[in-house]
Amino acid sequence: MTSFEGRQADLPPGPVANPAQPHEDVSEKSIGDLLGEISRDLSVLMRQEVELATAEIKQEVAKTGKGAGMLAGAGFAGYMVLLFASIALWAGLSNVIDAGWSALIVMAIWAVIAVVLGVSGRTRLRAVHPKPERTVDTLKRVPDALKGQ
């Protein structure tokens, strides 16, 4: 499944124009009726585009939040590394090995946690695309659709 297909399932449903459909005969309709139809179609199109943009932005905000949470966890883990490194140095100097080595082991565990959270958070933040790509793509097609192409 492509990323487009996966994202499409999360978007709100709505009528979509099918360019392969034959055009309806409008020779018997009044200008007022035609303008009314155009107005309704443009209204539906704009509402759908706003819904699409909202759905895409919500997806990107969720990704950003997860990445930021992981970076916050990495920051806390980094704080713990400094805390235990200081305690380990103090205990190591005051006791000349026994308590200090145990503090160094705890510090090493926190260092591994900080690295894992930092790398994971950075990876998630790099995957964020703040521009609603599908919305921009469909909006580029609006002028051609209005011209009947």
Whole-number average pLDDT of the chain: 79
What is each CA distance from 81 to 34, 116, 127, in whole angstroms? 70, 14, 28
The Cα–Cα gap between 114 and 143 comes to: 51
Q: What is the pLDDT of residues 113-129, one digit of tens each?
A: 899 999 999 999 888 87
> What does the pLDDT look like over 37-75, one tens digit per residue?
888 989 999 999 999 989 999 998 999 999 999 999 999
Span 78-107, mean pLDDT?
A: 76
What ranges do the domains of the chain cover?
31-147
CA–CA–CA angle 60, 65, 59 (5° rounding): 20
Q: What is the pLDDT of residues 20-32, one digit of tens each?
A: 556 677 677 888 8
**With a threshold of 0.85, does the pTM exceed it?**
no
Contact of 91 with 103, CB cutoff 8 Å = yes
